[in-house]
Amino acid sequence: MLFFNWWEGEQLKEAISSTHLTQWTDFKAVADSKVRRDPPAYRNDEGEQLWQRDVGNTIAALAVAGYLTEDTEYFEAADRWAQAAGSYPTWGTDDTPDGAEYGLAYGHQLLGLAMLYDYGQDYLSEASLVSLRQTLLSRVERQYNAYRTIDKAYTQNHTWINICGMLAAAMVLRNDTDKADEWIAFTQEVLGKSSKLLSPDGASQEGPGYWQYGMEFLMSAFDLSLSLGNDFYRNSTWWENTATYARFMTLPADHCDKENSIIDWGDSPRYSWYGPSHIYRRLASLNHNALIQYAAENARAYDVSSSWLNLLWYDNTLSSVMLPSTPVFHHFENMGLVASRTDWDGNESVLIFRCGAPLGTFAEQQPEGSYIAGDMGHIHPDANHFIVYSNGEYILRNNGYVKRVTRYHNTMLVNGKGQWGEVNTWFTPFPLTPSRDPKIVEALEDGNLVRITGDASACYLDEAGVKKFVRELLWIKDRNVLVVKDDIALASSSHIELLFYPENALSMQSESAAGVVTSRNSIRMENLTPGNSSLTLGTSFIEERSSSDGEERPLATISADASSLVQVTAFSWSPLPGTPPAVTYDSAAGTVTVDGQTYGL
């Protein structure tokens, strides 16, 4: 019943020795390693018991391997893990005081157990099938009763993961309980709403790591829904654009590995969680797109999951092509995100800039109640924040999965106050208030030059007294120079701090310049308006998201005490053994000069 019918399953059994042999070889190695493992013993740790996600994932993988090979060893291993899953008294948050049985473990466990119940009908003992059925019936009922009563975040990964598991379980239980149709109808209602609320530009407010995690389960749920006659892919332009988002959030190909592969914007880590080769496979098939197929091939080099979905989602009729004309600049207008690269040669430089409405402007145009605070779960107060990566390392970094406060980003504080929404360590500007939105007012690429202007004037806390905060970026690609012009006006004289987090600690070279020589680059930061402000170096203690643990990270600060400030700061770098180019600023003319060539600001 799940993902393919009997005839399609027979075709897939043949394909794994021919057209799908590469995908099968990758996946079989993963499945074989899981056969030799034992399921973890239950532990009633606080929180969501996220360790159970691997239990559900392992059951799913072993069930697929068993079905395609008809090898009982895979099913025996899957059954061993399934019996352990069924014996766990709680699956995450169902042990909380409010009895909220909707933790992420449910989605993973239900999907894996449903697949084993479906694919193992001819291979498992009757006792095992009865046990599986009882576990599925019990846990779906528990999750359904909790999930139907909560306010659901329709564009957040938790909903997609749990609804996918519920849907799969309900589909395989249709012959076992009359309630299955009710459960299925509920999932279809949720998925239908989710499908219409996705960002039309394809960008995820949760960052590329959560994009991978959510997409695997959302597309799985949508595919299951296709067999029920519901095509939710048609409801949004998200599906035409979201692979572009993923590609631009990926590190240059020559520097992608299992530890570093994605830009850690938002709450994302620097490595891939789920795939992403199988996610690209499905998007390539949906869009009949050879460039997305190319991205899938590249992702095999750092794909840690080698998912069974590569077998289902690989379209061998599609070519794999990266054309020289592939765009290197993209403005995700709804989300207020700009991504630019020098090229796609594998060792390119990358610039990411964020200045937009928390959930995008599309969200604010929808009826009240379409979104809830849960949709904001992985957003940061990061207006006018930017990231630079070049020659295999970050020049200016993002701080990743940390507390949601302005001071952890490459942007501005006034008297220590940051952007609206950071009152707590959870970003909470809800309900949405468009009058508070930051916005990108210009995003242009002209050959070698990129110009981006962000206006964050409205998004600061009232006590900061910000009347104007407009940041203009000028990236001169072939010179490895980024000029940042900040135009600031305040209600009264205040302490202004412009924060910049370099990946590597800088050392002062003069009163207005600092730099560092790393193993890859020579990097320079210069205050081009030293009469207006001062440059200081230090560190900032960056707290983890859920605790007071953290670490000191390098910080460079441009500061001034004033009611207004026009600040120009230059970042330049050069691969070793070169030196960064000299950058000068003419305030009267409003120009910068690099290696004798002048550019207007």
What is the spatial distance between Cα 280 and Cα 283, in angstroms, rounded to a whole number?
Answer: 5
Any domain includes 478 = yes
Any domain includes 281 = yes
Residues 590 and 538 in one domain: yes
Count of beta carbons in the 10 Å neighbourhood of residue 347: 14
Beta-strand pair 513-517/534-543? unpaired
Q: Which of 307, 324, 341 is the last residue of a domain?
A: 324
Residues 278 and 160 in one domain: no
For residue 305, the model assigns a pLDDT of 87
Any domain includes 551 = yes
Beta bridge partners of 332: 337
Any domain includes 170 = yes
SS3 of residue 417 by DSSP: strand
pLDDT band at 65, cuts 50/70/90? very high
Residues 128 and 156 in one domain: yes
pLDDT band at 92, cuts 50/70/90? confident
Residues 281 and 251 in one domain: yes
Contact 583, 593 (CB under 8 A): yes
Q: Count structural domains, the chain.
A: 3
Residues 353 and 260 in one domain: no
Output b/e per residue, 35-63; b: 16+ Cβ within 10 A.
beeebeeeeeeeebbeebbbbbbbbbbbb
pLDDT, the chain, mean:
95
Contact 10, 41 (CB under 8 A): no
Contact 13, 71 (CB under 8 A): no
Can you give the CATH number for the domain in which 143 is found? Answer: 1.50.10.100
Any domain includes 489 = yes
- Give the rounded percent of residues in the chain with a pLDDT score beyond 70: 98
Any domain includes 517 = no
Residues 280 and 424 in one domain: no
Residues 423 and 445 in one domain: yes
Name the DSSP class of 261. -
Is the pLDDT at 281 greater than 90? The verdict is yes
Residues 281 and 337 in one domain: no
Is the pLDDT at 95 greater than 70? The verdict is no
Residue type, 168: A
Residue 245 domain boundaries: 234-324
> Range with the lowest mean pLDDT among 24-33, 409-418, 420-429, 472-481?
420-429
Q: Which of 324, 346, 380 is the last residue of a domain?
A: 324
Residues 395 and 251 in one domain: no
Distance, first Cα to last Cα, the chain: 61
What is the spatial distance between Cα 466 and Cα 454, in angstroms, rounded to a whole number?
Answer: 15
Any domain includes 96 = yes
For residue 94, the model assigns a pLDDT of 58
What is the spatial distance between Cα 265 and Cα 251, in angstroms, rounded to a whole number?
Answer: 12
Model pTM score: 0.96
Query: Nearest 5 degrees, angle CA 283-CA 338-CA 583?
Result: 140
Residues 415 and 358 in one domain: yes
pLDDT in tens, 113-144: 999 999 999 999 999 999 999 999 999 998 99
Residues 567 and 438 in one domain: yes
Is the pLDDT at 363 greater than 90? The verdict is yes
- In this structure, the chain runs to a length of 601
Can you give the CATH number for the domain in which 392 is found? Answer: 2.70.98.70
Residues 380 and 491 in one domain: yes
Any domain includes 483 = yes
What is the spatial distance between Cα 311 and Cα 65, in angstroms, rounded to a whole number?
Answer: 11
pLDDT band at 377, cuts 50/70/90? confident
Q: Which of 280, 307, 324 is the last residue of a domain?
A: 324
